[in-house]
Amino acid sequence: MANGTLDSWLHPRDDEQRQTQSKRLSLIQRLNIATDVASALAYLHHCCETTIVHCDLKPRNVLLGEDMVAHVGDFGLARFLLEASDNYSRSQTLSAGLRGSIGYIPPEYGMGGQVSILGDIYSFGILLLEMFTGKKPTDDMFKDGLGIHQFTAMKMPDHVMDIIDPSLLIERNDAHGDGDRYESEIRARRTTSYRHGSPIQATRLEECLVSVMQIGLSCSAISPTERGQMDVVVNKLKAARDSYLNLRRRREE
C-alpha cells in the first residue's frame, strides 16, 4: 500500500523519521483511520453471509492507501463463526484457542474462552487507545498489572490531555493531511498549537479526545459483555469526527 502500515506512522523507526520529518498523523486522519477500521470490522461481523472474526487486529495489519484510506489486512488467523450471533455465550467457531498478538489478545482467550467477535472488539479498543496515546500496549511502562486500558482510565476524563500523543498538540493540515474526504470544508493550510492556542481550540480538542478514549475504553473492557458492537462503534466515531469538524468549520466561517 502506498502509505504502508498504521504501525509505521504511529511508531516510525529512526531512519523513517529522518526520511520523512513530516510523518505525523493529524487528529482527523486518526479519526478517519479508526472509522475505516471499525467499518471493516462491522462488515466482517454483521454483513457477511457467515460472520468472520479477524483474530489479529493491530496497527501492523492496518494498511493505508494513497489517500490514507485504511484497509484491514492479514487474515491468516481469521475464523468463520458457525452461526452469526452477537451473544458471546453462543458464539462458536470452527476452531478455538489463543489467537492474536501479544497486547491485543482479549483476556478471555487466555482463559480458554471461545473466539468471538467480541475478541476483535477488544483488539480494536486497544488499537484505538494506542492511536491516540501513541503508546504500544507492550510498552515497558506497562507492568505490574498496569496496561494501556488502566493507564487511560486513570486519567479520564479530567486529565486526558496528559496522556495523548504529543504530536496531536500540533494540528497540521498539509499535503499528508486528510485528502478531500471529510476535510473539504477545512481549507486553511496552517499549523495551530493547541497547547498555546485559544481556549475554544483546546476545549474542542479535549472534548473530541475524551469521546474517542471513552469508545476505546468501552471496547477494551475486561468483561466481553460490556463491550459495544462494531456497528454502534462506527456511529460513535463518526459522530465524534463530525462534531469536531462542524465546530471547526463554524469557527472558520
In a domain, 231, yes or no: yes
In a domain, 195, yes or no: yes
In a domain, 131, yes or no: yes
pLDDT digits (tens, 9 = 90+) for 188-244: 333 344 444 556 666 788 999 999 999 999 999 999 999 999 999 999 999 999 988
In a domain, 223, yes or no: yes
pLDDT digits (tens, 9 = 90+) for 130-182: 999 999 999 999 998 899 999 999 999 999 999 999 888 765 443 334 444 54
Domain of residue 228, CATH code: 1.10.510.10
Please give the residue range of the domain that contains residue 166: 6-252
pTM over 0.85: no
In a domain, 36, yes or no: yes
In a domain, 213, yes or no: yes
Q: What string of H, E and C letters represents the secondary structure of the chain?
A: CCCCEHHHHHCCCHHHHHHCCCCCCCHHHHHHHHHHHHHHHHHHHHCCCCCEECCCCCHHHEEECCCCCEEECCCCCCEEECCCCCCHHHCCECCCCCCCCCCCCCHHHHCCCCCCHHHHHHHHHHHHHHHHHCCCCCCCCCCCCCCHHHHHHHHCCCCHHHCCCHHHHEEECCCCCCCCCCCCCCCCCCEEECCCCCHHHHHHHHHHHHHHHHHHHHHCCCCHHHCCCHHHHHHHHHHHHHHHHHHHHHHHC
In a domain, 25, yes or no: yes
**How many independent structural domains does the chain possess?**
1
Q: Tell me which residues are annotated as active site.
A: 56
In a domain, 1, yes or no: no
